[in-house]
């Protein structure tokens, strides 16, 4: 049996868990909005046309914040098309996903949905085909209290109070040649800085996210952020990161180690931002907003052309996730939590139907994909402080990332309740691993309150409309608790099944 170990210490704190780590993303893309969150004719639709089954699942998922309205979509979007009487709203081409946007849902509808889902909105402005003025306009509509043309328009449209959105993205993936309005780092840096300055004159305490790299393999990775921040350091708060992972050519070993790339991504951009800060002699720190991350079988999408016909809400990138995908999603959450000192916002992309934890059928049911489970457990259990861990783990060799640890883990400690939670992934494809967790620094009265694992003999198993609960979390067995005087544990040994993601909550006896 393989063995790994770690010692936890309540004094070794990375940072508090940021609730914004559990963000998601709703883009006007495919069936995320239409027949995803919104389907007026559906038997379970509420008075505003929102699917209550999807709302219930979004709440169960534990989503805290949702980025809206795109994505690539936003780079050609006119926000004003989506406000006012629905019958008067124009149908437009969406060039990003080659589909028709009916504009039945716009910011007023989405804000209603967000209130029902109890999530914060992260709003992205179009800096692809538009600029400073339009960003100011949409900000005036959304956040200005009253007494101006656009704030009064919002009030006339039924929203008397401003929405008070704090977190704003300055465009989307403008480093990518696929983006409508793609820019050079210099062009984007100047535009982001000018837009940020203007938005701040309207509302000084906004939190502004400048677009960073669309992936760590972009040719401008690092230099994009450096140039951007040379221009915008003082006026933005975050740089965004986007990363999607998939299994290439049956290389499961590399795929399971995807979080190695996420760690590298975060460490590189933190170092880049801090280097610019040093050059500028600034005391300010730029944080990271990992506002698109997930498993996405992008190569399948790239090899299949977008629909020829211009359709409303076509089925686009409706990836069906298996057990291995869910284990990777769990391990990416471990990476995000580990970096909680600098990654203080993150969005899994996307929420419904489009590379999503929640699937729906028009007029039919909604169900949880495999990747729903690690997200929901992490969002529910990660509370208090993230602890710094030094894990001693065997390593294995991967095609893409060299040697990767078999076991990766993160832990949280909630000083309010005393609860300690360990999230752990076993990447070994054959064997269980005995993972010894030394808890002596917490005293001897911790005992296991709950322990869950996501694993399966068939790592390709998926959840479908007809078998929606084929893959769920199972109780983790084989836990040995020892070392305490009163039945509690000075340490706990977990037997982590092969290719698994697990969450264990320990509480005071």
Assess contact for 138 and 79: CB atoms under 8 A. yes
Stretch that binds ligand AHR, among 49-57, 67-75, 79-87, 261-269 (CB under 6 A): 67-75
**Gap between the Cα atoms of 343 and 225, Å rounded:** 15
Residue nearest to ligand AHR (CB): 71
Burial per residue of 108-118, b for 16 or more beta-carbon CB atoms within 10 angstroms, e otherwise: bbbbbbbebbe
Stretch that binds ligand AHR, among 68-76, 137-145, 182-190, 453-461 (CB under 6 A): 68-76
> Dihedral of CA 108/112/113/115: which sign?
positive
Residue 357 interacts with ligand AHR (CB under 6 A): yes or no: no
**Gap between the Cα atoms of 460 and 472, Å rounded:** 13
Residue 349 interacts with ligand AHR (CB under 6 A): yes or no: yes
Touching ligand AHR, residues 81-120 (CB under 6 A): none
SS3 165: coil
**Gap between the Cα atoms of 258 and 243, Å rounded:** 10
Residue spans of alpha helices (H) in 118-244: 132-143, 149-156, 185-202, 223-232
110 closest CA partner among 168, 56, 41, 33: 33
Antiparallel, parallel or unpaired: β 207-210 and 167-170: parallel
Residue 27 interacts with ligand AHR (CB under 6 A): yes or no: yes
Q: Which is nearer to ligand AHR, 332 or 406 (CB)?
A: 332
Residue 134 interacts with ligand AHR (CB under 6 A): yes or no: no
- Residue 16, judged by CB atoms within 10 A of its CB (0-12, 13-18, 19+), counts as middle
In the set 27, 39, 134, 173, the catalytic residue is 173
Element (H or E) spanning 99, and its range? Answer: strand 99-101
Q: Which is nearer to ligand AHR, 182 or 200 (CB)?
A: 182
The least distance separating ligand AHR from the CB of residue 144, rounded to whole angstroms, comes to 28
Q: Which is nearer to ligand AHR, 243 or 425 (CB)?
A: 243
Residue 353 interacts with ligand AHR (CB under 6 A): yes or no: no
Q: Which is nearer to ligand AHR, 29 or 209 (CB)?
A: 29
The least distance separating ligand AHR from the CB of residue 332, rounded to whole angstroms, comes to 15
Residue 71 interacts with ligand AHR (CB under 6 A): yes or no: yes
DSSP 322: B
CA distances from 220 to 178, 431, 469 (A): 14, 40, 42
Q: Which is nearer to ligand AHR, 24 or 340 (CB)?
A: 24
Residue 257 interacts with ligand AHR (CB under 6 A): yes or no: no
Does 173 qualify as catalytic in the annotation?
yes
Touching ligand AHR, residues 171-210 (CB under 6 A): 172-173
Stretch that binds ligand AHR, among 50-58, 70-78, 102-110, 156-164 (CB under 6 A): 70-78
The residues annotated with a catalytic role in the active site are: 173, 292
Which residues of the shown chain bind ligand AHR in the complex (CB under 6 A)?
A: 27, 29, 70-72, 172-173, 214, 292, 349-350
């Amino acid at each position: 049996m393989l063995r790994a170990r770690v010692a936890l210490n309540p004094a070794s704190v990375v940072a508090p868990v940021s609730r914004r780590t559990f963000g998601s993303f709703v883009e006007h893309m495919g069936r995320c909005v239409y027949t995803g969150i919104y389907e007026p004719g559906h038997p379970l639709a509420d008075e505003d046309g929102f699917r209550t089954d999807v709302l219930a699942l979004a709440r169960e998922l534990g989503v805290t914040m949702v980025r809206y309205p795109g994505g690539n979509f936003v780079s050609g979007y006119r926000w004003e098309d989506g406000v006012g009487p629905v019958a008067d709203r124009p149908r437009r081409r969406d060039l990003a996903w080659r589909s028709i946007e009916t504009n039945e849902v716009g910011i007023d509808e989405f804000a209603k949905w967000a209130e029902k889902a109890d999530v914060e909105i992260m709003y992205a402005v179009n800096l692809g085909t538009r600029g400073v003025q339009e960003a100011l306009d949409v900000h005036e509509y959304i956040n200005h209290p009253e007494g101006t043309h656009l704030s009064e328009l919002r009030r006339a449209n039924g929203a008397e109070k401003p929405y008070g959105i704090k977190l704003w993205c300055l465009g989307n993936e403008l480093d990518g040649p696929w983006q409508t309005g793609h820019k050079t780092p210099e062009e984007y840096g100047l535009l982001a800085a000018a837009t940020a300055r203007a938005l701040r004159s309207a509302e000084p305490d906004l939190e502004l996210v400048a677009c960073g790299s669309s992936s760590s393999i972009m040719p401008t990775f690092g230099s994009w952020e450096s140039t951007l921040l040379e221009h915008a350091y003082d006026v933005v708060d975050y740089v965004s990161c986007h990363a999607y992972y998939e299994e290439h050519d049956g290389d499961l070993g590399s795929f399971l180690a995807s979080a190695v790339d996420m760690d590298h991504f975060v460490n590189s951009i933190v170092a880049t931002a801090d280097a610019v800060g040093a050059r500028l002699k600034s005391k300010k720190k730029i944080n990271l907003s990992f506002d698109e991350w997930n498993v996405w079988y992008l190569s399948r999408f790239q090899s299949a052309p977008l629909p020829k016909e211009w359709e409303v809400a076509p089925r686009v990138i409706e990836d069906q996730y298996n057990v291995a995908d869910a284990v990777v999603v769990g391990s990416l959450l471990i990476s995000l939590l580990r970096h909680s000192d600098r990654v203080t916002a993150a969005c899994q992309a996307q929420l419904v139907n489009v590379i999503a934890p929640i699937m729906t059928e028009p007029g039919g049911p909604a169900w949880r994909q495999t990747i729903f489970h690690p997200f929901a457990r992490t969002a529910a259990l990660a509370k208090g402080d993230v602890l710094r861990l030094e894990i001693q783990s065997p390593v294995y060799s991967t095609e893409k990332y060299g040697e990767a640890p078999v076991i990766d883990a993160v832990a949280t400690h909630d000083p309010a309740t005393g609860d300690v939670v360990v999230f752990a992934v076993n990447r070994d494809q054959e064997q269980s691993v005995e993972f010894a967790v030394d808890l002596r620094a917490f005293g001897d009265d911790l005992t296991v309150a709950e322990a869950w694992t996501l694993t399966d003999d068939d790592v390709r198993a998926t959840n479908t409309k007809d078998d929606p609960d084929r893959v769920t979390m199972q109780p983790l067995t084989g836990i040995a608790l020892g070392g305490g005087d009163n039945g509690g544990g000075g340490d706990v040994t977990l037997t982590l099944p092969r290719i698994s993601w697990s969450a264990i909550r320990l509480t005071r006896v």
